[in-house]
Chain A
Amino acid sequence: MNLDDALHTFIAESLELLQQMEEALLHIEQAPDDPDTINAIFRAAHTIKGSAGLFGLDGIVAFTHVAESVLDLVRAGRLHFTEELAALFLQVCDHIGVLVKRAAEHREPEDSVRQNGTHLLEWLNGLLDDDPARDATAQPPATCPAETTANVERAADTVGTDHWHISLRFGQDLLRNGMDPLAFVRYLATLGRVQHIVTLTDSLPGADDMDPESCYLGFEIAFRSDADKATLEDVFEFVRDDSLIRILPPHSRTAEYQQLIQALPEDDMRLGEILVRCGTLTEAELAEVLRSQAHDVPAAPVGQLLVEQGIVHPPVVEAALKKQQQAKENRQAANNLIRVDAGKLDQLIDLIGELIIAGAGASLVAQRAGNGELMEATALLSRLVEEVRDSALTLRMVQIGSTFNRFQRVVRDVAKELGKDIRLDISGGETELDKTLVEKIGDPLTHLVRNAMDHGIEPAEARLARGKPAQGLLRLNAYHESGSIVIEVADDGGGLNRERILRKAIERSLVAEGAALSDAEILNLIFEPGFSTAEQISNLSGRGVGMDVVKRNIAALRGSIELDSTEGLGTTVRIRLPLTLAIIDGFLVGVGNAAYVVPQDLVVECIELDCEGGHDYLNLRGEVLPFIRLRNLFDIEGAPPRRQNVVIVQFGGLRAGLVVDQLMGEFQTVIKPLGKVFGRIRGIGGFTILGSGEVALILDVAGLIQHLASQRHEAHPHTFLKESL
C-alpha cells in the first residue's frame, strides 16, 4: 500500500468517524452526560488526531488536539455537554471535515476556513482556560525534579488493603502520542477516590540525556472505588499497548504483591516502601512479601509472572478475560469488514449478469434437445446462479439508516434557521437498498425534508391554535414492498389545500378550466414543471419549488413518487424505488416477432383478450381497465393473431393492461442500460439479452402509462386511467 492509498483510507475513515461524532453530538443533545456517547466523541477526535499525525497533517493535529483537550474535560466531568457546547462541537466537527477534505485534495485550506478555525480555537481555548482545576494541574509532573508524594484526600479510616492498587509505567512515546499522564489520573478520580499517589521518576535520565518530548514517569496509586477491574482497565485503553499497567484488586494475596514488585522495573525494596506508603501494604505484610520472595529461586521471568498473576483472583481474572475476549471480538468484528472498491463489485455483478444470460441460453438448448438429464442439470445450475446473483447483489446493498441519520443534522439546522421546534423521527433505518440508489436519493430527500419543514410544518402558534403540539414532527420511514423500497417523508403540518392547487394550476394553464380531476391528480399537479415559481403566496406556495426536479430525479432511478395529504393533518410523500438497478425478474411477452420484457414486480395477472370493437378498455371483474395495444403503439407490422393476451400491470396507484400476442413466461434478466443514443426515449427502460442471444427491450411501464395518460388527458380526462383501489 503506497502512501496515497493509505491517505485515501485515512480520509474515508476520518469522514466516517466524523459522521459518528456528529451522530453522537446530536444524540448528546438529548442525553447529556451519557459516558458512552462522550467516549465515542472523544475516541473519534482522538483517532483522527492520531492518524492525521501519521500523515504529518499538522493543521488537523493541532486543531483536533485542542478539541480533544476540551473533550477530556468533559470526560473528567469538569465540563458539561450543554447545548451550546454540542453546537460548538458540531462546528468543530464540520471544520475537521473541511480540513480532511482539503487534505484529500492536497490543497491548503482557504483563508475563510482558516479564519473559522482560528475562531473555533479561540472558543475552545476559552473553555480550557475557564477550567478551575487547570491551574492546579497545568504544571506537567515531568518538570518535578524529585520524587513527589502527594496526599490526595487521605481519609483516616481507609488505611488498610481494601482498596485497589494501580501501578503505571507509561511508555516513552506517551506525550508524543498526544496523551497527558495526568489526564489518566484525573479521569481515574471520576471513578473513585485516589487515596494516595506516588510519582516515580526513577527512569528520568540526567538532564543531558533527557528528551523533553519523552515521558519517563510512573505512578503508584492507591485507589478506592466500587468500579470493577474491567472499568479500571478501560481507563487506560488508549495506552494499554505501550505502557506497563498493573491493577491489583482489594484484598489481593501477598503473592500477587510479590509478583507485582518483581514485574516492575524499580528496585524491590524501594517499591515495597512505596506500597507501604500508599497504605496498600502494612510493614508486616511487606516483610512477608519480601520473605516469600527470597524463597523463590530464581525469580520467574516476567512473562510467566504475568500469566500467574492471572490465576490468583478467579472472579476478577474471569471478568478481565471476558472483557479482553470481548474487546478482541469487537476488534475481530471490525476486521471482518473489508473495504472493496465499488468498481470491483460492479465488475462482479456484470459477470454474474453474463452468467445468467449464458445459463438461460444453456437451459434453452437443453429444452430443445429434450434431454431430461441435461435439463435437470441446467435447472440446478440456474438455481445456483440465481443464489449467486442474490448474494452478489446483497454486497451492494447498504442500510438506509446512515442516510436517514444525516437528516438529524439537517432537521436541527433548518429548524433553528426557521425558528421552529421540529423533531425528526426515524424508522426503518435497517431497510437495505442498492448503494448507487443511496447515493442518488440524498438530494431529492433533502429537498423534500426541507420543503416539509419550511412549508409543511406550521409555526408553533398556528399549531397550538389547531390543537396540535407545538413541536412539529417529521418522520422518515423506509420499508420494502413488493420488490421495491418505499421511502416516506411525512410531516404533521398543514397539509395541502387542493382548491388552491387547482386554482394555481388553472392560472398557470396546466389544467383546463372546469376539468374534473381526482384528488390524487390534483395533488400530483405540484410535480408538474412550471407549477410553482419563486413567488410566495401562502404556506402552500413554494412547496412546488423544484418538485418537478425531484420527480425527474426519482424517475431517472426507475422510481416513482406519490403524495398523500390531509388538510390540517399533514402530508406524506412516498418515494418508490427498485431495490437494485442491475438485475430484475422479467416477464417475457411477444408481439409479432419481437420480444419485450415487463418487470415481473409490476405484473398483477394475465387474461385473454375478449373484447370487440374499437375501444381500449375492458371489464375486469366489474372494474374498467384501460389497456394499450403494443402492436399499435409500436407500429409492429402484420395482423394480430386470433388470440391475444392482456398483461395487467400495476404501478404505484395506477393499473392498466398491455395487449400482447404471446405470453412467454418468467425470465430472470440483466438490465443493460439504454446508453447515450437511446437515453432520452420514453417507454423503454433498458435492454436485455435473451437466452437465444437476441436483444429484447425492457418496457418502462410507468413511463409508458404516464406518457400516454398525459397525452390523452386533454382529450378525455378519465377514460384512460383508473385509480386503483
Chain B
Amino acid sequence: MGQLIKADMRDLAAESRQYLTFTLGGEQFAVGTLCVKEIIEYGQVTAIPMMPPSIRGVINLRGAVVPVIDLGARFGGPVTAVGRRTCIVILEVQHAEGRQVLGVVVDAVNEVLEIAPADIEPPPAFGTHIRTDFILGMGKVGGRFVILLDIGRVLSVDELADLASAAQHADEQP
C-alpha cells in the first residue's frame, strides 16, 4: 500500500491528472478517474444484516455482487440520505491479493476536472472532518478546495472486513 501511495504522489507531481468530483454532505470530494469504473443511479441495494452503518449492502452489477459503502458514514458522519441525485460510484481498488470492485454512495456527481500538480496542496494536519490519512491532497478548483481522496485508504478492504466482522460480534453479544 505504501508503495502505491508513493506511486500516486509521483504521478501527482509529474503531470496533471483527471479527477471525478462529487458532493457529499455539502462538501466537494474528488477521486482519480483511473480508478472509477462507472457511475450508476442509486437503487436495489440489498442490506446485509448485522453490518455497521458504513457498509450499506450489496448490489448486482451485471451479475457481479458489489459491496456498497456509505462514504458519509465511513467518514464518521450520518448515513447518506437517498435523494433524487444520489448515485453509486463504482471504483476499483488495489489490495494485497488483487483488485476489489466497490461502490460508494454519494449525494451527487459533479464533473471530471483536470487538476495540475501545482494546484494541489498537502492535506492540513487537522480541520477537515475526515481522517487525514484518507486525504491525498487538497485541490484548488475555481477558488475552492476539493478534497482529493486516497481511495486505497478509504476503501481499504482489510479495514472494511474488520469493520464487518467486528460489528457482527458486537451485535451478537449485547
Report the minimal beta-carbon distance from A117 to chain B, rounded to whole angstroms.
38
**Which residues in A have their C-beta under 8 angstroms from that of B51?**
681
Q: Does B110 contact A (CB under 8 A)?
A: no
**Which residues in A have their C-beta under 8 angstroms from that of B46?**
594, 694-697
Q: How many of B's residues come within 8 Å of A, CB to CB?
A: 30
- State A311–B91 Cα separation when bound (angstroms): 76
Main secondary structure of the interface of A (DSSP, over half): mixed
The reply to whether B49 and A693 form a contact with Cβ atoms under 8 Å apart is no
The reply to whether B65 and A677 form a contact with Cβ atoms under 8 Å apart is no
Report the minimal beta-carbon distance from A44 to chain B, rounded to whole angstroms.
38
Report the minimal beta-carbon distance from B153 to chain A, rounded to whole angstroms.
15
The reply to whether B49 and A675 form a contact with Cβ atoms under 8 Å apart is no
- State A354–B62 Cα separation when bound (angstroms): 9
Report the minimal beta-carbon distance from B120 to chain A, rounded to whole angstroms.
30
- State A680–B51 Cα separation when bound (angstroms): 12
The reply to whether A680 and B164 form a contact with Cβ atoms under 8 Å apart is yes
Q: Does A296 contact B (CB under 8 A)?
A: no
Other-chain residue from A353, A677, A682 in contact with B157 (beta carbon distance below 8 A):
A677
- How many A-B pairs fall under 8 Å by CB? 75
Nearest residue in A to B69 (C-beta to C-beta)? A677
- State A201–B170 Cα separation when bound (angstroms): 90
Report the minimal beta-carbon distance from A597 to chain B, rounded to whole angstroms.
12
The reply to whether A357 and B48 form a contact with Cβ atoms under 8 Å apart is no
Contact string, A616-636, partner B, CB cutoff 8 A, digits 1/0? 000000000000000001111
Main secondary structure of the interface of B (DSSP, over half): mixed
Other-chain residue from A672, A675, A711 in contact with B172 (beta carbon distance below 8 A):
A711
- State A633–B48 Cα separation when bound (angstroms): 12
Contact string, A667-681, partner B, CB cutoff 8 A, digits 1/0? 000001001111111
Interface positions, chain B 23-80, Cβ under 8 Å from A, are: 44, 46-51, 55, 57-60, 63-65, 67
The reply to whether B65 and A675 form a contact with Cβ atoms under 8 Å apart is yes
Q: How many of A's residues come within 8 Å of B, CB to CB?
A: 28
- State A385–B28 Cα separation when bound (angstroms): 48
**Which residues in A have their C-beta under 8 angstroms from that of B112?**
none
Other-chain residue from B47, B168, B173 in contact with A681 (beta carbon distance below 8 A):
B168
Other-chain residue from B47, B59, B102, B168 in contact with A594 (beta carbon distance below 8 A):
B47
Nearest residue in A to B163 (C-beta to C-beta)? A677
Report the minimal beta-carbon distance from B155 to chain A, rounded to whole angstroms.
9
Q: Does A416 contact B (CB under 8 A)?
A: no
The reply to whether B161 and A672 form a contact with Cβ atoms under 8 Å apart is no
Other-chain residue from A634, A678, A679, A694 in contact with B44 (beta carbon distance below 8 A):
A694
**Which residues in B have their C-beta under 8 angstroms from that of A81?**
none
Q: Does A328 contact B (CB under 8 A)?
A: no
Chain B residues near A (Cβ < 8 Å)? 44, 46-51, 55, 57-60, 63-65, 67, 95, 97, 100, 102, 157-158, 160-161, 164-165, 168, 171-173
25 A-B interface contacts by CB (under 8 A): A353-B63, A357-B63, A635-B50, A636-B49, A675-B100, A676-B100, A677-B160, A677-B161, A677-B164, A678-B161, A680-B164, A680-B165, A681-B48, A681-B50, A682-B168, A683-B49, A683-B50, A684-B48, A689-B60, A689-B65, A693-B60, A694-B46, A695-B57, A707-B172, A711-B173
**What are the 4 tightest A-B residue pairs by CB atom distance, in nearest-first order?**
A634-B49, A680-B165, A695-B46, A687-B65
Chain A residues near B (Cβ < 8 Å)? 353-354, 357, 594, 633-636, 672, 675-684, 687, 689, 693-697, 707, 711
